[in-house]
Structure 1
Amino acid sequence: MQLANRVKTLTPSSTLAISAKAKELKQQGHDVIGLGVGEPDFNTPDYILESAKKAMDNGMTKYTPAGGIPELKQAIVRKCKDDNDLEYSTDQIIVTTGAKHALYTLFQVLLNEGDEVIVPAPYWVSYPEQIKLAGGQPVFLNAEEANDFKLTPEELENAITDKTKAVIINSPSNPTGMMYNKEELEKLGEICLKHNIVIVSDEIYEKLIYTNDEHVSIGALSNELKEQTILINGVSKSHAMTGWRIGYAAGPTYIIKAMSNLASHSTSNPTSIAQYAALAAYESKEDSEAMKQTFKERLDAMYELIVAIPGISCVKPKGAFYLFPNVEEAVAMNGFDNTDDWVTALLEEEKVALVPGSGFGSPNNVRLSYALSIDTLEEAAKRIKRFVTSHQA
């Protein structure tokens, strides 16, 4: 029996692959430090847990509208206004089974066979695969490390063809933690408007910024850009709710309607109980300041430890909870042919799991999550340094 052609070219998630290998070693009794999966190590706040229990007790366990319960959509409307200076109506909001499914559904309703989507590299691993599943063609633009991995207006302009349908902007970024400022977004936005290109603005890490830099939603810069932008976000990172699978998309009514129609034939609706939990998250005045402060302390500590290792350099991120160090010199110094082999040997010998940058379109880098205790991060850095120094020729 033959599989469908659309899945034959899919590349397995490198983050899930390294996590699976780390889990296998743990089950064998090894002391593995997993720096692969990107999720907060905090539990979901108690007030959100209580809201979910209350929803169950009150019988909120039935089907909901495919695009989400009205109360949650209204809360997202208020959130976008308060946090992002963006005014939407509820028919411009769809609640989805995680931000990942918002992206998947968007590409399904947006792309025709052969449409091109510009994907700045380094990129989140699922962007290109979702584009290909929708019949589109990812066009990769290598954002230079010297420019903090950010796409320049000139690079964007030069990549546009008559097949270009959209561009992805992820700020703060997974895997680099970089951010675009207002001026940079304005210049990119001008080009998108000039060429009538849809902007897919993935802002899932907006609440996890550790500098004085302000998060800017590109759609808030002008009415024209708002009409050209699909905002993607959710509660996974901001409220430590990765497993609840609640995200959303906001944008022009006709696109959101199409996404809702597609959802009605695929997922039916996001889990009802999780929607009420997300409603509590967005209605609450509690913020993520404590979690953010903890992540900042971990970032500062781990960054200093990593850049002190021979052969490793790193642009210090401003947001998210990843470091994306360049290990090209260490890989060569240790006698490995490529970063993937280096990462595999590190896991086998020192039981530290990193994600090779090849899965993010940046083969000389690795991604590591610092969503772990400082003691654990210090031990991980100690093992990485021991591995690098022991393999020096």
Structure 2
Amino acid sequence: MRTFSKSSKLDNVLYDVRGPVVEEAARMEEEGRHVLKLNIGNPAPFGFSAPEEVIRDMISNVRDSQGYSDSRGIFSARKAIMQYCQVKKIPNVSMDGIYTGNGVSELINLSMQALLDNGDEILIPAPDYPLWTACATLAGGRAVHYICDEKSDWNPDIEDIKRKITYKTKAIVIINPNNPTGALYPKEVLEQIVQVAREHELMIFSDEIYDRLIMDGLEHTSIASLAPDLFCTTFSGLSKSHMVAGFRVGWMVLSGDKSKGKDYIEGLNMLSNMRLCSNVPAQSIIQTALGGYQSVEEYIQPGGRIYEQREYIYRALNDIPGLSAVKPKAAFYIFPKLDVDKFDIKNDEQFAYDLLREKQILIVHGGGFNWEMPDHFRIVYLPDIRTLKTASGQLAGFLERYHQK
């Protein structure tokens, strides 16, 4: 009998949205047990909803959105994105350099497939949003991870970036604001990254999906605004800022000196045409979403849900013996550190599994974000404070007697 195995291209791809811990959580739920899911940044299950105007716009546009659009997106959506880039001071953006996608994830994959040949290297942060590493690997490239320094508010280690550049390095990825740490990179750090990219003629990819979820009165700087002489690609979307993760609305913008990437752009256009277009009804809400009042601001100010939940979880985690955490400045993630000696932890995935089995709390271990040490895990703090209080209490009780076998 003939059997079919997965493609060998997937052998080194370390991205699995399921994994043994998530599989166990699914099995527990099938048994009727409740699992508190602090593992994924999906706002809808925790009572967040899209602005009413956005919902109404999608409904009103559905009837007229039944055909394919231009492969890069409808005019009104790309025009709104271009105007948003102007506000962000991103230089040399044109309509033909804007691509809408079924979420940023699709565009990350498309951008890596168009860039990388077998053996090419690309610098990606550690910890990272693991799709970047997976897509680079699937495209035949080699992800080289540079360290983000916890002692420096999780900012990229510039010297580590420099050490890891070789003649095979084609590009550098930054994730700002960062998932999983919630870090927001200051302008001076971004300027240093730009200078390194300039000296080594690297392309810059900047994942900025959380750029409208900034707290404490801070401002987000798009790295492309600091690099008019470099070829940059910037990613953003509505999934997080407008609480419409299921709508799959993302975009990718080419900027700076695009003459350096003519052949690459040809590849992007080929791949974009191959998928015909992104979700047209979802594209129809981009203009409404980016224009006018941004309702997400209500969540990120003092008194708002995300802000107050951030404040609570930061204090609660740091009050647990053997745990410490850097206060996130953006998004809705926190990446606490475990005292591995205190708890005898040698395998962070086992820690996540043990926590799930005993307390029915689902988190993601640090290794899931290409963090090499077994000493971190990520918590999504989207649940309300009452739920977070229960979860942190359960975590504290679990750690009181936890020693990994």
TM-score of the aligned structures, taking structure 2 as reference length: 0.90
Q: Give the structure 2 partner of residue 279 of structure 1.
A: 287
Pick one of 57, 67, 71 that aligns with 1:51. Answer: 57
C-alpha contact 1:306 1:312 (8 A) present in aligned 2: yes
Deviation per residue, 1:43-84 (Å, 9 max, x gap): 122111111110123x32111111111110001001111244
* Residues 170-209 of structure 1 mapped to structure 2, 5 A cutoff: 170-209=175-214
* Residues 346-365 of structure 1 mapped to structure 2, 5 A cutoff: 346-362=355-371, 363-365=374-376
What is the CA–CA distance in structure 2 between the aligned matches of 1:17 and 1:85, rounded to whole Å? 42
C-alpha contact 1:234 1:247 (8 A) present in aligned 2: yes
Q: Give the structure 2 partner of residue 127 of structure 1.
A: 132
* Residues 94-173 of structure 1 mapped to structure 2, 5 A cutoff: 94-173=99-178
| Cα shift at 1:171 | 0.8
Residues 23 and 376 from structure 1, CA distance in 2 versus in 1: closer, same or farther, beyond 3 angstroms? farther
Asked whether 1:290 is paired with 2:298, we answer yes
Provide the aligned length of Structure 1 versus Structure 2.
387
- The amino acid across from 1:345 in the alignment is D
What is the CA–CA distance in structure 2 between the aligned matches of 1:332 and 1:322, rounded to whole Å? 25
Q: Give the structure 2 partner of residue 3 of structure 1.
A: 6
C-alpha contact 2:310 2:332 (8 A) present in aligned 1: yes
Asked whether 1:389 is paired with 2:400, we answer yes
- The amino acid across from 1:291 in the alignment is Y
Deviation per residue, 1:313-345 (Å, 9 max, x gap): 111111111110011x1x543444322111111
What is the CA–CA distance in structure 2 between the aligned matches of 1:84 and 1:355, rounded to whole Å? 35
Root-mean-square deviation (CA, aligned residues, Å) is: 1.9
Deviation per residue, 1:126-182 (Å, 9 max, x gap): 111100111111011222221222223222222111100001111110001112111
Q: SS at the partner of 1:167?
A: strand
What is the CA–CA distance in structure 1 between the aligned matches of 2:120 and 2:215, rounded to whole Å? 37
| Cα shift at 1:350 | 0.7
User: Percent same amino acid at aligned positions?
Assistant: 29
Asked whether 1:217 is paired with 2:217, we answer no
TM-score of the aligned structures, taking structure 1 as reference length: 0.93
Q: Which segment is superposed worse, 354-363 or 162-171?
A: 354-363
| Cα shift at 1:24 | 3.2
Runs of 5+ in structure 2 lacking a partner? none
Pick one of 242, 247, 255 that aligns with 2:245. Answer: 242
Asked whether 1:251 is paired with 2:257, we answer no
Q: SS at the partner of 2:29?
A: helix
C-alpha contact 2:88 2:221 (8 A) present in aligned 1: no
Deviation per residue, 1:220-266 (Å, 9 max, x gap): 11421xx421111111111111111111111156445532320221x
| Cα shift at 1:29 | 1.9
Q: Give the structure 2 partner of residue 25 of structure 1.
A: 28
What is the CA–CA distance in structure 2 between the aligned matches of 1:77 and 1:152, rounded to whole Å? 32
Q: Give the structure 1 partner of residue 312 of structure 2.
A: 301
C-alpha contact 1:18 1:36 (8 A) present in aligned 2: no
Q: SS at the partner of 1:342?
A: helix
- The amino acid across from 1:367 in the alignment is R
C-alpha contact 1:68 1:270 (8 A) present in aligned 2: yes
C-alpha contact 1:81 1:87 (8 A) present in aligned 2: no
Q: SS at the partner of 1:223?
A: coil
Runs of 5+ in structure 1 lacking a partner? none
C-alpha contact 1:38 1:369 (8 A) present in aligned 2: yes
- The amino acid across from 2:185 in the alignment is Y
C-alpha contact 1:309 1:385 (8 A) present in aligned 2: yes
What is the CA–CA distance in structure 2 between the aligned matches of 1:257 and 1:81, rounded to whole Å? 24
- The amino acid across from 2:307 in the alignment is K
What is the CA–CA distance in structure 2 between the aligned matches of 1:14 and 1:240, rounded to whole Å? 20
